[in-house]
Amino acid sequence: MRGDLFDRMISLVFPRGCVLCGATVAFDDLVCSRCVPDRSQEGLCLFCGKAHYSCRCREDQWAFEGAAAALYYREETRRALLQLKKLPDRRIARYLAGEMYLCQHREFPGVPFDVITEVPMHPQKLEQRGFNQAELLAGQLAVLGGIFHRMRLLTCSGSAESQHTLGRKERFAAAHDRYSLGGDVREKTVLLVDDVFTTGATAQACAACLMGGGAREVYILTAAVTPLLATLP
């Protein structure tokens, strides 16, 4: 109570800004009235952009049961995620997790998740940055959904080089056998959280690791998806 009052008094001297554009907002607000969340379209496949009922991507041997992203990775969302990678901004994490929570219930209605965990960072990168932005998002999402957050359930090994310059096939090859399981997930339904969905290589490798450990099902939920396909708006 006192802490909340203190924060409100501080906000009178140092007003808080919209997490998307920086405009001044009220103490309890995260975004201003001018900013509209760039939400992904409901019911579309992240791989081909088609509606789930007409898409054939599920014919591929994916280790996860479903994948969804709350927002498109462009403009304000892109800036917010890049800022979150630089600093562990709790307000940005709260905003993104709130959008992910809405997406979770829209895309995975009624799925009884037993545990939430995050895509891990390579130890070298984690030491350099000091935090994992996916872990921040998973923690906030766990609070919103009342689901147990199993931090650092997965570990990452291998090369610490960035995957951004690699093509799709190269990303899948680099992600193969890159992750290890550090806990019991037998017969559990797992919600795996990351910041951005691109090719699906990381999601596939992590989900395969979890399923190999006996998980019942794995679902992928990210803050954003890169709109690389012409079918996306």
Q: Sheet holding 115-118: strands in order across?
A: 66-72, 217-225, 189-197, 115-118
pLDDT (average), residues 61-72: 92
pLDDT tens readout for residues 94-123: 999 999 999 999 999 999 999 999 999 999
CB 218 within 8 A of CB 181: no
Rounded CA separation 201/203 (Å): 5
CB 193 within 8 A of CB 118: yes
Q: What are phi and psi of 41, to 5 degrees?
A: -75, 140
In which band, very low, low, confident or very high, does the pLDDT at 57 lie, cut at 50, 70 and 90? confident
Which pTM value belongs to this model?
0.87
Structure tokens at 163: 């995957």
In which band, very low, low, confident or very high, does the pLDDT at 174 lie, cut at 50, 70 and 90? confident
**Neighbouring-strand partners of residue 44:** 51
Structure tokens at 196: 């951005």
CB 42 within 8 A of CB 34: no
In CATH, which of 3.90.79.10, 1.20.140.10, 3.40.50.2020, 3.50.50.60 is domain 37-225? 3.40.50.2020
Q: What is the pLDDT of residue 142?
A: 98
pLDDT tens readout for residues 210-232: 999 999 999 999 999 987 543 33
* Residue 177 φ/ψ region, left for φ over 0, alpha for ψ in the -120 to 50 degree band, beta for the rest: left
* pLDDT tops 70 at residue 13: no
* Mean of pLDDT over the chain: 87
Q: What is the 3-state secondary structure (H, E, C) of 188-219?
A: CEEEEEEEEECCCHHHHHHHHHHHHCCCCEEE
pLDDT tens readout for residues 115-157: 999 999 999 999 999 999 999 999 999 999 999 999 999 999 9
String of DSSP letters for 58-80: GGS--SSSEEEEEEESSHHHHHH
Structure tokens at 87: 């600093």
Residue 95 makes CB contacts below 8 A (sequence gap 6+) with 19, 20, 30, 31, 80
pLDDT (average), residues 146-174: 82
Residue type at 148 in one-letter notation: F
pLDDT (average), residues 190-202: 94
Instruction: Report percent pLDDT > 90 for the chain.
Output: 64
Domain ranges in the chain are: 1-36, 37-225
* pLDDT tops 60 at residue 172: yes
Rounded CA separation 198/164 (Å): 10
Q: What are phi and psi of 116, to 5 degrees?
A: -115, 135
